[in-house]
Structures are given as C-alpha cells and as structure tokens.
Amino acid sequence: MAIPLAEAKLQNLDLDIEGMTCTACSRRIEKNLNKVEGVKAYVDFASEKAHITAADGVTRDQLVQVIVDTGYAVGSKRDESKTMLWRLVAGATLSVPVLALSMIPALMFDGSQWLDAALSLPVAAWVAWPFHSVALKNLKARTSTMDTLVSLGVLVAYLYGAYQVLTGGMETYFDVAAVVPTVVLFGRWLEVRTRRSATDSVRALLSAIPDATVVRRDGQQLSIPTAQVKAGDILVVASGQKIPVDASVIEGDGQIDNSLITGESVPEQVGPDSSIAAGALNVGGTLVLRAVANSANSRISQIADLVREATSQKAKISSLTDAISNVFVPSVIGIALATFAGWWLIAGDQQTGLRAAVAVLVIACPCALGIAVPVSLAVATGMGARRGVVIRHPDTLSLLSRINRVILDKTGTVTTGQLRVAAVIPVTAIEPQRALAFAAAVERGSVHPIAKAISATDESLTATSIVETAGSGVEGMVDGQRVSVSRRPASVLTNSETLNTALAEVGARTVAIVAVDGEAQAVIGLEDDLRPTAAAAIGQLGQLGIHSVLLSGDQEARVAAVAQAVGIQRHYAGVTPEHKLEVVRQLKAEDPGLVAMVGDGLNDVAALTAADVGIAMGSGTHATQSAAAITILDDEPESIAYAIRLGRKTWTNIKQNLGWAFGYNLILIPVAAAGLLNPMLSGTAMAFSSISVVLNAQSLRRRVRS
C-alpha cells in the first residue's frame, strides 16, 4: 500500500533546469513531476529550479529522468545566454540584408529571391531552433505556446517562399522567416539576462563565511576548511577576521562588527559567554571561541534557507503573453485551416486558399509581440539608470502598480550608515574642540568605526605610546598628559557623578568618554545622519498613496527619533533578520495590497526576498542586490518613489504595446483570410506594428517626467 506523503519520511531536493523558455515550460515540468508517487514539486521559472519534496523511496535519478523525458536538461550549469547571443548576432547579421532586399525595390535584381533564400535559411533553421525545439515539445505534450506560432510561422514563411522561387513565383516571405525569429530571440535574450541575476542571493549570502578556520586540536593550532568545523571545536579568530561558525566566547574581550546580522554600524561588545553569529567581523583583539554549530547549521545558513524558502513559495505570476497565447495560438492555427478549407470548399480555389492560409500564419507571427515587453524595459532601464534606478525583473512592473506599503530599513537606507560625531558635551571646563582634539589624537591609529569617526574631526595633536585595549578603548600620551577614550564609564574616573549627568544628556546616541589623567573631560555622542532627502522621499511615497514603515535592529529611542524626523508613523526597533521576515509576512497578511521592502545589508536579504517587491540600495551588499528586484544605485531615497512611479508607467506602457501587437493581428488576420494580403503589404504592416511599439515605448520618457 502506498504511504501518503504527509506520513512518509521526506527529503528536499533542488534541481537546476535548462531549456525553459516560458512559464508554460515550468508548468509542464511541474505537472509531470507531481505525477510521480510520493512527490510534491514546484518549478520556479525565474530561478530555473525545481523545488521538490519527495518520499525517501524516490531517487534523484528518477526525478531527473522525468525532467529529461519532458524535454529538458538538468544541472549542466551551461550559460544559456551566451549560446543565445551567438544565435542573435547571426540572425541580425543575416536579417538586415534580407529585409533590405525584400522591402526596397531599388535593391532588387533578377535572382535576388535566391539570395534571400540563401541568407534566410540559416536564420530559419539554426537561429530559430530554440523555437522549433519548444514547438516539438509542445506537440508531444499536445499543447501550444507562442513558441509554437513563431516556429510554425517561420517554417511556413520559408517553405512557401522556397516553393515560390522554385516554381517561378514572386510572392516570398523570406523577410518574415529571417526577421521574426531574430526579433523575438532578442526579447528572449533580454529576459534570460534579467532572470539570471535573481539566483545569486543565496550564493552571495554564504560567501560571507571564510573558507578556512583556525582551530585548536590536540594542543596545536591548525587551519582547516570551515566546512570541517564541528560543534564543540575551539576556534581562534584574530582581529580583522570573520567568525566562521556560530560560536560562544571562552577567552578574550573585544568588539565585533555584526552588521551582517543586525544591519547596525556600531560594533557590539563581547566577552566570555557572549554568543556570536557566523559572518561577524572581529574588530577588537583575538578571541577564542567554542563552536556551537557547524557551518551548515549556522545562523547565516538558516537565513539563506529562509531566502530559498521565500523564493520557492513566491506566487507564480504567468507572463501576460503566455496567458494570451494559450488562446491566441490555437485560434490562429484554426483560422488558417478554416481559411484554406473555406477557399477550397466554397470558392473551389485551392491555390488562393493556400496563399491566404499562409498569409494568416505569417501575419500572426509575433514580431511586435516579441519586442513589446523588452523594448519598454529597455527604455525604462535607460531612464532608471540616469536616475540611479535599475529594475531587474519584468514581473516587478505589474506588482509595483499594486504596492501600498513600503518597509524601509533604517541604517543605510533612511540614514547614511556612517557614524558621525553629533555632540560633544563637556564634563569639566574644557572646550569641546579641545576634547575632540585629544580624542582624535589617540584614536587615529585604530580601525574601530567609532575611532575612525572621531579621528576624522581633528588633526591638530599627535599621540604617542598608544595602547588599544580590546573591549575597553584607547589611551596614549598627548602633550605630556595621559588621554583615554573609552566606550563605557570606568570606575577609576574621579568625577563619575558629573559624568553621569553628561551621559544622560547625550540621549540615544553612541557614546565615547574622553578622560585626561583619570578625570572625565567630555562625552562624545555619535550617530549616523539622516540622508538629506529622506523626509522628502517619505512625503513623495505618501503622495503616491503609499504608507511607510521603518524597521531597524537599533535601539527603540533612536529608531523612534528617526521615524519622527522623516514623518513615518509606524516603526519596529531591535529586530533581527528573522523578525524582519516576520514583519514583512505580518504586513502582507494585514491588507490585500502589496508590500515593498527597502534595505541594504545581508540582514535584509530574507525580508527583501519575502516582500512582493524588494528594493536594494546600491551601496549594499551583492547578496542584497541579488535578492532585490530593484536596485537604487546612488542610495538616493527619493529614487524609491521614482522607481515605483517608473514601474507603474512602464507596466501601463507594456500593456499598450501588447495592445498594438495584438491589434495589428486582429485587424490584418481577416484581411489575410480574405486573400487580400500580399507579401509587400504583409512586410509593411509588420514593420508598422513594430515601429508603433517602439514609438509608444519611447513616449514613456515624457509620461514619467509628467
């Protein structure tokens, strides 16, 4: 008796799939995989992966064979876009002279049809092979897609043209056989290029883990691959190195830059028994750690798993052209057959019927349809690039029109993410600038982010005998006086009561205490600045009917202050990457509208992927940009509203282009069926349709500006 999937011991598999050209391909593979007993599969066209949950008795080889039998390849990692580019170059090189010889009477000569036939043959056969291949798969599966129509139209156009040349006729469609596959392949190539970048985020996340780790075993320090580290191993991590696995501190005090997880620029203090996540940067002294997990089970690996999960569970958004083609393609084939049958059975004219049927298939070839989406994307991409905005995924354009909430990570998005001296509060009669000069002198040699911010404020004094104590601060001799800069109050300071008053005045800022000869002189407050246009950006989002939410791993007081400063009513403080993901899911569940997430750090990747639209700041990590559908290259917050406006206008423009493309078909197919369409008129109409699409896409520039 078969064991139900819910009761069986399960295994999870991800398989890379090659050869998919549209969402119909992914649906076909998914359908066949789900026919296997004990298998539940989802095939993601965007990432070109099959996410499979299978019972233990199902082998990987079985699943691979199902995919191969469906007509696709698994796991060769070949770069499909390079092969496609070679076909595209060949198609463009050969199509231009064919089009010129067919459309410009002055270039025609006796026997030019033979040259057209020769030049268009490689295009109709080799350049168009991806469409022929999918058409054969569709035939096997008893279905049809736009590839079917491209393949059928190209073959009919070329074979009919060849028949005309051989029999001395003049009506040839070689220009259609050459131009259509080239133009449609160009659109397909653009789509593949944009899809590829969507699959990099997990790989970039895991690249934050160092390849090698120093461990203590049998009284010796050894460097081993991080993948071989086991829970319980003793690790040694020097200053400037990254933590290889989740661990706890057993020796040493210092600071770690944990922005990978928290997104905050202020280092965290750690000491014995402190827990540290993999990927954190040690910016203090040497730490001796005990591994609490291996690399596969580290927190950053779990975040990567969250990204995979969010990707695999995204709603499947079928492209508009695929959805329309489910009806359009069979209809065109049916009209062509009916045209031939009508001329033959009613008018008794097989020759005219054949010519009219061929004209129907040729005129329906989706040349304008093939560029309707890519040409609008090309215009939008150019416009966005000039404003520092890159829209990377076509599906995003439809989603942007329904966005009504934007979640913004604080650090690096609303603020600059760079610490700055915001206040100097004297504890004694010292001048604030003099206190800064003392602090800058001793901090100048440190790589600590707080030290860098302070040392950049003054260069008038020089320190000697500098000693940096991990977890405490820096001290040195300046003008014969011992100056120290510490991150927290020291019990040895002689004026601690006065110091506490100054510390209270600093408020929610990061603190550095300047002391001279054991007496506190001033408290320096540091913070990262608001981006100059942050408040204006929130206002622009409001004008678009979008509500903003602020999200941060920072302390409550600082997050609340930033939210108030930029005009955001709702905020969350002290959130981890996992909590950010939960906030995104919570907001998505609250309202039927869609949610966008804006972030810049690895700690934002899971939330960016789970949001309906992810927007990454350009200064953020590679993993962040890979997980996002939109990248703001210049870190300008106002570009967020511009990106949404551009996306909305572009999506409208694409729908208009599709209307032009299909409108052209709807008008001329009856003309072709009536036997009134000759090759010259067909070529002119095809050119007019394509030009209309291009001109409409160009109008996007004016519409977005207005």
Is the backbone of residue 477 left (phi > 0), alpha (psi -120 to 50) or beta?
Answer: beta
Contact between 289 and 235 (Cβ < 8 Å): yes
409 belongs to the catalytic site = yes
Give the Cα separation of 68 and 62 in Å (integer). Answer: 10
CB-based contacts of 213-221 (< 8 A; 24+ apart in sequence): 213/244, 213/245, 214/238, 216/288
508 vs 561: CA distance, rounded Å: 9
> At CA 633, angle to CA 627 and CA 636, rounded to 5?
110
**Coarse DSSP helix, strand, coil percentages of the chain, rounded to the nearest 5 percent:** 50, 20, 25
Catalytic residue among 409, 528, 554, 604: 409
Q: Which helix (H) or strand (E) holds 70?
A: helix 60-70
The two three-digit tokens of residue 46, written as one number:
């965007």
Please name the residues in contact with 206: beta carbons below 8 A apart, sequence gap of 6 or more: 300, 301, 304
The secondary element (H helix, E strand) that includes residue 410 is none
In whole angstroms, give the CA distance from residue 328 to residue 317: 19
Task: Fill in the amino acid letter for 186.
Answer: F
Q: How far apart are CA 173 and CA 153, in angstroms?
A: 10
Q: How many CB atoms lie within 10 A of CB 184?
A: 28
**327 token code pair:** 């009806």
CA distance 258 to 165: 72
End-to-end CA distance of the chain: 67
Q: Is the dihedral of CA 300, 301, 305, 307 positive or negative?
A: positive
Burial class from Cβ neighbours inside 10 Å (0-12, 13-18, 19+) for residue 673 reads buried
Handedness of CA 607, 609, 614, 617 (dihedral sign): positive
CA-based nearest residue to 475, from 491, 483, 668, 698: 483
Which residues are known to be catalytic? Answer: 409
